[in-house]
A and B are shown apart, each in its own frame.
Chain A
Amino acid sequence: MEMYLYIALFAPFVGSLFAALFGASPKTLWSGVVTSALLFASFVSSVTLFVYLLQGGEPIHTELMTWMATGNLYIPFGFVVDQVSATMMFVVTTVSTVVHVYAIGYMDHDKAFNRFFAWLSAFVFSMMILVMSDNFAGMFIGWEGVGLCSWALIGFWYHKESATWAANEAFIMNRIADLGMLIGIFLLYWHTGSLQYDVVFAAVPNLDTSIVTLMGIFLFVGAMGKSAQFPLHTWLADAMEGPTPVSALIHAATMVTAGVYLVVRANPLYSLIPEVGYFIAGLGAFVAMFAATMALVNRDIKRIIAYSTLSQLGYMFVAAGLGAYWVALFHLMAHAFFKALLFLGAGNVMHAMSDELDPFKMGGLYKVMKWTAILMILASVALAGIWPLAGFFSKDKILEVAFSSEHYIIWAVLWITAGLTAFYSFRLIMLTFFSGEERYKEHGFHPHEAYKFMLWAMAPLAVLAVIAGWFEQQFVHFVTELLPTFEFHTHHVEMMLIAVTSLMAIGGIVVAVLLYRNGLLNPKLQQTAVYKLLFNQYYIPKFYDEFFSKPYAELSKIFWKQVDLKVVDATVDFIATTIYKTGEGTHTMQNGNLSSMLRWMVIGTVGLLVLAVLYVKRYDILALMQMVFPGLGA
């Protein structure tokens, strides 16, 4: 079984190296095919491991080699495949295999085809390290690794200023959060003496609650960055500058869920500190609604989906925060499938529309892109949470969790958000594929359907988006071997809750369909304050720019030009020039004139004599001083 573990882990790495070898050369189809094949191998291994565990196999725990060992610190490259990581591996490899195959078509005309696959596979490798590591340091490797790959892939088209800017923003914002995670790791080490999951989780119950709370908070700060929770959320929407397969893989299905994975993985720690859990849940609910509102008015199909991702991540954090870890993981999985599908569909649309992203310029695309439309509608229905698709099962469970643990406000927020979700999803669908007139013709586009094999590549995701929810019972049984179970106290109102939520979702869909069936809304709506607020993302990016980026740059300039050059360096130079000037000023003494030399000699002699007298008489002088200034002391 260990062999499968290593294949699952290293196959993407080999693929990445292979593609990187040809990174600078023009497109070779091979690099795409080989990386995809290797990822398929990784996928097969992951499934094998998954099935092995499903059949009751023992979790696999191996150690490759030592990484760091000094003092008492011992960090190995250790890997563990248990129920949680196997689930994650399954999700990651499934989506990435699909995305790789899809990207062969999508990146068809790109000059840097090979470079793209090198980075994409490198990302999968990092993600696998993240989910498979058996210690926090190893997770941190993956954590930073996915950050690096995300940086490179967001800024993939590096000639575009906006792309490189977004890449740097994503990296730096993640770094802010990573500092939190790093501090969390330090805390873990100094209080438990290890970073291995099993040792740490065995030790935390014996620790002081305040310490555990601190650990929980700092680790969660890390999770906030990767999962783009408020206030570190702005990078995710900007990250849509990257190629669409990247958005599907990294910024929807896998990397952004790493934060949720962290909380789920650290469940023994978070179970001890429910207060932090409530905070996580509260923040999650807030982000769910906050992001959904921004998605309502956006005019960029990828950004709409990105906000939707943000919103769904909020849902997951609600579940994780309230202690329903398996529910969070379940929604993570279901979401990965339908959200990746949605993104890939959006990619098809972009391709058809020559990289146009504004749905206001589309409309009526159903006629030319029937299959894409069907797939996207399927994904949207799943996202909206309509029975019997995946989203229904997972999202409904989260609402149930909130209701069951008597957090009615959170429940209400999520309930309203469910409606908003359905609304913006179908607003997007309507604007793009239906809504009366074919606006794209006015803008001179000639859309076409994507390659057949791209559509076929999306098919597995579509299937999973439909059926993933049906295996809820098996899933619960599987992961609760490792994760704590969650006691639902809502059996009496279960059907009611489901009905209410479903009604909300259906309501959202119906409203969207009705509103947009004949085209755009009245443009006057765009003048309202609410619209402006939402369209400008609550002015948060502007706020960050004005209050963080610009002052930082200004302060840096001041530090350099004013402080470093004019104070620190000038002080040093001042001392040096003072000494130099003293020499300059006194060297006239040595003018060689005998009489002035004699004069100096006399002055020197007199000075020395005076000093000698003072020295001889020093006690008398001191006594005199004490007499004159009695307060001076001895």
Chain B
Amino acid sequence: MMEIGLTHYLVLSTVLFAIGLVGVMRRKNLLMLFMASEILLNAVNVAFAAIGHYYGDLTGQMFAFFVIAIAASEVAVGLGLLIIWYKRTDTIDLDTMTSMRG
């Protein structure tokens, strides 16, 4: 049976990141966008943790915690804004948010 090594974690991380990226690019629903960005962050987390473990260095895992903490606060703020936006406009479709139009 094959040992699960760094490469596998990194491949997993890349795949997750790609999924997140596609989600960010394709999704029109704001909520889904949040999900996709969470996937992105967690893809990085996986890579951090794996590399940290590989080098026997805790810095990577520490960074992963940081990322989790920041992601949590970001979601908290973001969801709050999202709810207000939904209350005002009855939609969370991205295409309607064009007030930044150049």
Contact = CB atoms under 8 A, between A and B. Distances in A.
B94 A602 contact: no
A186 to B, nearest CB: 63
Contact of A599 (B25, B95, B98, B99): B25
Contacts of B27: 595
A593 B94 contact: yes
Nearest to B95: A593
Interface string B13-34: 0000000010011111000000
A591 B101 contact: yes
A595 B94 contact: yes
Interface string B67-102: 000000000000000000000000000110111111
Nearest to A601: B24
Contacts of B97: 592-594
Interface in B15-64: 21, 24-28
B94 A594 contact: yes
Nearest to B24: A598
A598 B25 contact: yes
Contacts of A593: 94-95, 97-98, 101
A209 to B, nearest CB: 78
Contacts of B24: 598, 602
A580 to B, nearest CB: 17
Contacts of B95: 593, 595
B21 A602 contact: yes
A597 B28 CA distance: 12
Contacts of B26: 595
Given A591-B98, A595-B26, A595-B27, 7 more contacts: A592-B98, A593-B95, A593-B101, A597-B100, A598-B24, A602-B21, A602-B25
B99 A592 contact: yes
A587 B101 CA distance: 10
Nearest to A599: B25
A598 B24 CA distance: 7
A587 B28 CA distance: 22
Nearest to A587: B102
Interface of A: 587, 589-595, 597-599, 602
Which of A589, A598, A599 neighbours the largest number of chain B CB atoms within 10 Å of its CB? A598
Q: List the 8 shortest-distance A-B pairs measured between CB atoms, nearest first.
A: A590-B102, A592-B101, A592-B98, A592-B100, A595-B94, A594-B94, A599-B25, A594-B97
A590 B25 contact: no
Interface class of chain B by DSSP: loop
Contacts of B98: 591-593
Contacts of B25: 595, 598-599, 602
Contacts of A587: 102
Contacts of A599: 25
18 contacts: A587-B102, A589-B102, A590-B102, A591-B98, A592-B97, A592-B100, A593-B94, A593-B98, A593-B101, A594-B94, A594-B97, A594-B100, A595-B26, A595-B27, A595-B94, A598-B24, A602-B21, A602-B24
Nearest to B36: A598
Contacts of A595: 25-28, 94-95
A263 to B, nearest CB: 79
Contacts of A592: 97-102
A594 B100 CA distance: 9
Nearest to B22: A602
Contacts of B28: 595
A608 to B, nearest CB: 15
A279 B13 CA distance: 98
A591 B102 contact: yes
A595 B94 CA distance: 6
Contacts of B101: 590-593
A595 B27 CA distance: 8
B18 to A, nearest CB: 11
B20 to A, nearest CB: 11
Contacts of B102: 587, 589-592
A595 B24 CA distance: 8
A599 B101 CA distance: 15
Which of A590, A593, A599 neighbours the largest number of chain B CB atoms within 10 Å of its CB? A593
A449 B44 CA distance: 120
A592 B98 CA distance: 5
Contacts of A594: 94, 97, 100
A589 B97 CA distance: 15
A599 B97 CA distance: 15
A419 to B, nearest CB: 94
A604 to B, nearest CB: 12
A588 to B, nearest CB: 9
Contacts of B100: 592, 594, 597
A610 to B, nearest CB: 15
A592 B27 CA distance: 16
B40 to A, nearest CB: 11
A595 to B, nearest CB: 5
Contacts of A597: 100
Which of A587, A595, A599 neighbours the largest number of chain B CB atoms within 10 Å of its CB? A595
A408 B99 CA distance: 102
Contacts of B21: 602
Contacts of B94: 593-595
A9 B19 CA distance: 102
A467 B51 CA distance: 126
A172 B38 CA distance: 86
A597 B101 CA distance: 10
Contacts of A589: 102
A524 B98 CA distance: 96
Contacts of A598: 24-25
